[in-house]
A and B are shown apart, each in its own frame.
Chain A
Amino acid sequence: MREVCERAVETALAAGAEYADARVVVRRDQFVSTKNGEIDSAADSETEGLGVRVIVGGAWGFAGEPELADRGAEGAARRAVEFARASAARTRRPVALADRPAEQGECETPFERDPIEVPLEEKIELLLRAEAAARHEDVKIVETAVRAMREQRAFRSSDGADVVQTFVETGAGIDAYAQGDGRVQIRSYPSAHSGSSAAAGWEYVERLGLEREAPRVAEEAAALLHADPCPATVTTVVIDPEQTALQVHESVGHPTELDRIYGTEAAYAGTSFLSPDDLGSLRYGSEHMNITADATTPQGLGTYAWDDEGVRGERSPVVRAGILEGFLTSRETAALLGEGHGGSMRADGWSRMPLVRMTNLHLEPGEGSLDDLLADVDEGIYLATNKSWSIDDKRLNFQFGTQIAWEIRNGKLGRMLRDATYMGKTPEFWSSLDAVAGPEAWKMHGLTNCGKGQPGQSAHVSHGASPARFRNVRVGVRQ
C-alpha cells in the first residue's frame, strides 16, 4: 500500500503538482439482516483503490483508481494533475494549506474479537433470537441487522506524512413495526435507522443485549398503536441520549464545519449561520451547553490517529459554557481562518476527496439522573429515539420526529404519546437548555449515514450525550 502511494505522489510531482497526497483504501463490509424469522440479506463486499489529490497552479485535482499497482498509481496521478491544470489558469485564490507536523506511524482499532471473522451462523442465530423475543400479536414486522467492517487506509503526502491505519467497526439493531387501524408504529433498539455501531469488535454487539431489549421494543411499538397523539403546544421537553445525539450532530456538528462556513457546501448540504468572526464570542446556548470534538474517544466511529490529510486527531472544545470555542477544520480552511492546522478531514473510501467531517462530537454530561431532570418538570414531554429529521441550509430551523414520547406530569412520566415532533431554531433552542444529566446517564451512539459532498459521501461518526432538558419548545407539529 505504501509503495503505491509513494509512486502516485512521485508521479504527480513529476507531472507538475506543487503538492500531492495519495490514499490507498482496502475495505471489507459484511451485512446480515433478518425479517420475520427469515434471512433477508447476507452480503459480503470488498473494494480497494487509490485516491490521488494534487494542487497544480493553486487548483485542486483528484482522481480515483481501483488498480493498486504502479500503472494505476501513475495513471491516477496524471489524471488528477490534468483535472487541476484545467482550472489552474482561472483560479483567483490559490489553495494554501496550514502547516502541520509530518507524522509517520501505524495505528489499529483495539478489539477483542474480529467481527468480520465471526461465523455467519453465529450472527444469524443472534438476530433470530432477538426476533423471537420481539414476538407480539400487534407487531407484524420485526427486522434485525448486524454489520461489520474492516478498513485499511494508507496515506502519504509530498510534505512528509506517511501513516497507515486499520479501522474495525461493528453494529446491530432491531426494529419492530406494529400495525393496526391503518397505522404503523415503530420502535427500535439501540437506535433508529439500522441500530448503532462502534469502532470495536464483536463484543460490542454481544453487550448490546438485543434479545434482552426485544420484548420491551415490541410492547412499546404495540402500545403506540393505542396511544394518544402528541399534543401541539409549547412546553418543556426532556430528550433521551439518542435523539440528543442527533440534535448535536445536526445543529452543532454541521454548522461548525468550517468548509460550510466558507460556503463550499452551499449548493448541496448548505452553509452555516456561523461566521469565522463568531469564534470565541458567539453565545450558542446556555451555560449548560458544553460540546467537545474528540477524535480520541474509545469506540468512536469518528476516532482516528490521523485524519485523511495526515493531521493527528485531537480532543478540543467546540462550545464551552454556551460560547462558541472551536470549528471543525481542514488544512485549507485552517489557513483561511489563520488558526489551527486542520484535523477533521475524512473521505468515504478511495474514490472521493476528503471533506471536513465531524469527529466524534459529544454533549458533555452535567449532573444527576434522568429522574432528577424529570423531577423539575410540572408539565412536559419526554422524547425518545429518532424517527425523522430535517434542518435548513444554514442549520437554523430544524424539525425532528421521535418514535415515542411520554407526558411528564408533576415530575413523573405519564401516558405514552405517539407521532411526536418538535421544532426550533438552533441558538434559541440551545439557550433553552437548563439541565444535562450526569456521566452515569451518558451514552454514545454511532451512526453510519451522514451525507455530504458532491459526489456524495457517507461518513461514520459517534455522538455521546446524556438526557437533556429544554424549556419552551414547540412540539406536536404535523400539519
Chain B
Amino acid sequence: MREAPNALALAERACLLAEGDEADAVVTAERSGLARFADSAVHQPTLVEDRSVGVRVVRDGRIGCATTNRVDDAGLRALVARAAEIADRAPVDPGFPGLPDRAAPPDVEGWDEETAAHGPADQAERAWAAIEAAGDLGLYGYYTSGETELAVASTRGVAVSQAITDVAVLALAAGDGRSGYADASSWRAGDIDPAAVARDAAEKAARTERAGEVEPQTFRAVLEPYAFAELLWYFGYSSLGALGLLEERSYLSGRMGEQAFDEAFSLYDDGLDPAGLPKAFDFEGVPKRCVPIVKNGVVTDVVWDCRTAARAGRESTGHALPPPAQAHGPQAFNLSVAPGDASVEELVSRVGDGIYVTRLHYLNIVDPREGLITGMTRDGTFRIENGRVTEPLVNLRFTTSFPALVASLLGLGAHARLVNQNDFYGERYPYGVVVPAVATEAFTVTGSGSGPGL
C-alpha cells in the first residue's frame, strides 16, 4: 500500500479547522481516464482529476456533514463552518455512537505503479487494442484505468490513507442479429489483455445468430460469472447489510443461523483479498475484516458499520459509507463466493436441459424480503440440451428468487473471477465481486424480449 500524504494531510487539516466536540474528515482523490468506444471508434474519452473533502462535525450530540472540492484554506474554512452550522441547527441524534477509535488498518495490496502511471495515451492505446481485435464486428465498451486515494482523519486519532489502482475493460462485440460480451477487471493493468477480452466477446457473438425463443418457465441454468455477479450485487445491496437486517427489510431477517442455501454456497465480504479490489478500511477509518456471511449454506452474519453495530451490541466490520450516506446503512463492497470444483463444461453437463446465460441487463429488486429480482439476459443466451450448449436464444425476461437460485445449486465453477460492478457514477471508488460460474435448478424466466445484436 502506498501512502497518500496529500490526501491524508488534507483530511487532517480539515479536522484541525473543525470546531466541535468531535470531527472526522474523509478525502477522496481521483485521477482517471475512460476511453469509451462504440462501433469501433473512441467516442467518449473522459479524463477526470478531482479531490473532495467531507467533514462531519459533532456538537452536543448533533451532527452536521458538509462536502466540498474547494481545498484551499478558504474552501476548507467555509466547509467546516457549513458543517458546524448544520450541527448547531440539527436535533440531537440519539443513535450516533460516537466516532470510532484509532485502529491500525491491515496491510493490503491494491496499488500498482504501472497502472498509476497510465495516462490518456495508454488508455486510448489499450482501447484501440480491443477494438482492433474484434474482427469484422463492431466493438462497444470502454477501457479505463485510474488511481484513487482515500484518507480518513478524526479528532479521535484516526489517520489512515490508501491509494488504490483499478483497471477495467468491457467489450460488447455486435453486429446485425448477433452480440457477445466479455469484461475483465483488476488493480493491475498488466493482468488485463484488452485484445483477449474483445476476442472472447467476438467469439461469443458469432454463436448468437438466428436466436430462438423459449416458453416462460423455471429453468435449470448455467450463469457465467458476469450474470451471477450482478444478481449477487443486487441481492447484497438489499439484504447483506446490517440495517436491512435490523429493520427486518432483508431476506436474511429472521434467518441468522438457518440453513437457507445450498451446502455448496459460501459467501464472504473480504476487503483484504488481493483477487478483488482490496480495501484496508471504510469511510470512518475502521479496518476492514473478512466477514463470513454464508458458510456452507448457513447464514452466519452481515456487514456492519459503527452505528448499526452499536445498536446491536456488535463491533463494526469496517463497512461504513461516507457520513452523509450512512442513512443507507453499511454496504458489502467486496463480496466473494467460494469456488467449487467444476469446469464450465461440467456445469453445463449437470444442467442437462436448460439455458446458459452470459450477462444480465437492467436489474431491479421486485421484493427485498423475498430476494426477488427481475431483469433481462443479453449478449449470449443459449439453450442447453443433453448437457451441451446448443442454439442461441433471444433475450429473456427473468423474475427470479436469488435465494432459491443458490438454494438449489447443481455446482460451482472451479475458477472465481473479479467482476467489476462499478459504473463510475460520482467519485470513483473501485469495487466488484469475485464469483465463479454457477449451475442452478431454479432460474425463472417470465417472458422474452428482443434478439441479440444492435
* CA–CA, A387 and B43, complex, Å: 35
B59 within 8 A of A: no
Residue B300 CB within 8 A of the other chain: no
Asked whether B424 lies within 8 Å of A389 as measured between CB atoms, the reply is no
A62 contacts the other chain (CB 8 A)? yes
B135-154 vs A, Cβ < 8 Å mask (1 yes, 0 no): 00010111010000000000
Interface-side segment among A16-24, A216-224, A262-270, A310-318: A262-270
A264 and B67 contact, CB distance less than 8 A = no
Q: Known: A60-B44, A456-B423, A479-B401. Contact between A389 and B364, CB under 8 A?
A: yes
- A389–chain B nearest beta-carbon distance, Å: 6
Instruction: List chain A residues, Cβ under 8 A from B395.
Output: 392-393, 397
Cα–Cα distance between A458 and B375 once the two chains are bound (Å): 20
Residues of B with C-beta under 8 A to A46: 66-70
Residue A195, interface by CB 8 Å = no
The stretch among B17-25, B91-99, B108-116, B335-343 that forms the contact with chain A is B91-99
- Of A121, A266, A399, A454, which contacts B397 at CB under 8 A? A399
Interface: B298 (CB within 8 A): no
Return the CB mask of B112-132 against A: 1 if under 8 Å, else 0.
000000011101110110000
B378, A179: Cβ atoms closer than 8 Å:
no
Q: How many residues of B contact A (CB 8 A)?
A: 97
Cβ–Cβ < 8 Å partners of B444 in chain A: 479
C-alpha gap A80/B249 in the complex (Å): 46
Known contacts A392-B362, A392-B397, A423-B447: does B369 contact A60 (CB below 8 Å)? no
Query: A177, B372: Cβ atoms under 8 Å?
Result: no
Q: Is the CB of A399 within 8 A of B446?
A: yes
Given contacts A45-B66, A390-B376, contact A397 B447 (CB under 8 A): yes
Given contacts A268-B423, A392-B376, A423-B447, contact A454 B66 (CB under 8 A): no
Q: Does A396 contact B (CB under 8 A)?
A: yes
Closest to A182 in B: B369
Nearest Cβ on chain A to B315's Cβ, whole angstroms:
23
The stretch from A82-90, A100-108, A294-302 touching chain B is A82-90
In the complex where A353-B44, A393-B361 touch, is A266 in contact with B93 (Cβ < 8 A)? no
A-chain residues with CB within 8 Å of residue B83 when the two chains form the complex: 44
Chain B residues whose CB sits within 8 angstroms of the CB of A82 once the complex forms:
119-121
Chain B residues whose CB sits within 8 angstroms of the CB of A31 once the complex forms? 324
Complex Cα distance A421/B327, Å?
28
Are B324 and A65 neighbours in the complex by a CB distance under 8 Å? Answer: no
Chain A min CB distance to B376 (Å): 4
Question: Which of B47, B363, B450 is the one whose CB lies under 8 Å from A63?
Answer: B47
8 Å CB interface, B384-405 against A: 395, 397, 399-401
**A430 → chain B, closest Cβ, in Å?**
16
Give CA–CA (A37, B124) in the complex, Å. Answer: 52
Which residues of the partner chain A approach B428 to less than 8 Å between Cβ atoms? Answer: 455
Residue from B44, B47, B93 in contact with A453 in the complex, judged by beta carbons closer than 8 Å? B44
The B31-63 residues at the A interface (CB cut-off 8 A) are: 32-36, 38-52, 54, 63
Quick one: which of A90, A273, A388 contacts B374, CB cutoff 8 A?
Answer: A388
Contact check, B124 vs A397: say whether CB atoms are below 8 A apart: no
For residue B386, give the distance in angstroms from its CB to the closest CB of chain A.
27
Does chain A have a CB within 8 A of B257? Answer: no
- Known A48-B69, A271-B454; judge A182-B254 contact (CB<8 A): yes
Tell me if A165 is interfacial: C-beta within 8 Å of chain B: no
Q: Which residues of A contact B119 (CB under 8 A)?
A: 82
Residue of A nearest to B89 (CB): A120
B89 and A119: CB pair below 8 A?
yes
Q: Mark A424-453, 1 if CB is under 8 A from B, else 0.
A: 010000000000000000000000000101
Contact A43 B397 (CB under 8 A): no
State whether the Cβ of A478 lies closer than 8 Å to any Cβ in chain B.
yes
Counting CB contacts under 8 A, is A147 at the interface?
no
> Nearest Cβ in chain A — how far from B241, in angstroms?
15
A418 to chain B, nearest CB (A): 10
- Asked if A83 and B454 sit within 8 Å, CB to CB, the answer is no
Q: Do B45 and A455 touch (CB < 8 A)? A: no
Knowing A38-B93, A390-B375, A455-B423 touch, does A401 contact B366 (C-beta < 8 A)?
Answer: yes
**Does B433 reach chain A (CB closer than 8 Å)?**
no
Are A43 and B425 within 8 A (Cβ)? no
What is the CA–CA distance of A479 and B401 in the complex, to the nearest angstrom? 8
A31 to B82, CA, bound (A): 13
Is the CB of A141 closer than 8 A to any CB of chain B?
A: yes
Question: Which of A35, A48, A83, A454 is close to B70, meaning CB atoms less than 8 Å apart?
Answer: A48
B-facing mask of A394-426, CB < 8 A → 1, else 0? Answer: 101101010000000000000000010101010
Residues of A close to B362: CB separation below 8 A: 270, 390-393
Bound-complex Cα distance A301 to B90 (A): 29
B41 touches A392 (CB 8 A): no
Q: In the complex, what distance in Å separates the CA atom of A415 from the CA atom of B55?
A: 50
B311 to chain A, nearest CB (A): 12
Cross-chain contact B44 with A83 (CB below 8 angstroms): no
A91 within 8 A of B: yes
18 A–B contacts from the bound complex (CB under 8 Å): A38-B93, A44-B64, A45-B67, A46-B67, A60-B44, A63-B47, A64-B49, A82-B120, A182-B254, A184-B248, A267-B142, A393-B395, A396-B449, A399-B399, A421-B366, A423-B446, A454-B424, A456-B424
The 9 closest A-B pairs by CB, nearest first: A397-B449, A86-B124, A455-B424, A456-B425, A43-B324, A45-B67, A392-B449, A267-B140, A83-B120
Given A61-B120, A391-B376, A477-B399, 16 new contacts (CB under 8 A):
A43-B65, A45-B67, A45-B324, A87-B127, A91-B41, A93-B41, A119-B89, A140-B247, A355-B44, A392-B362, A454-B36, A455-B32, A456-B426, A478-B372, A479-B218, A479-B401
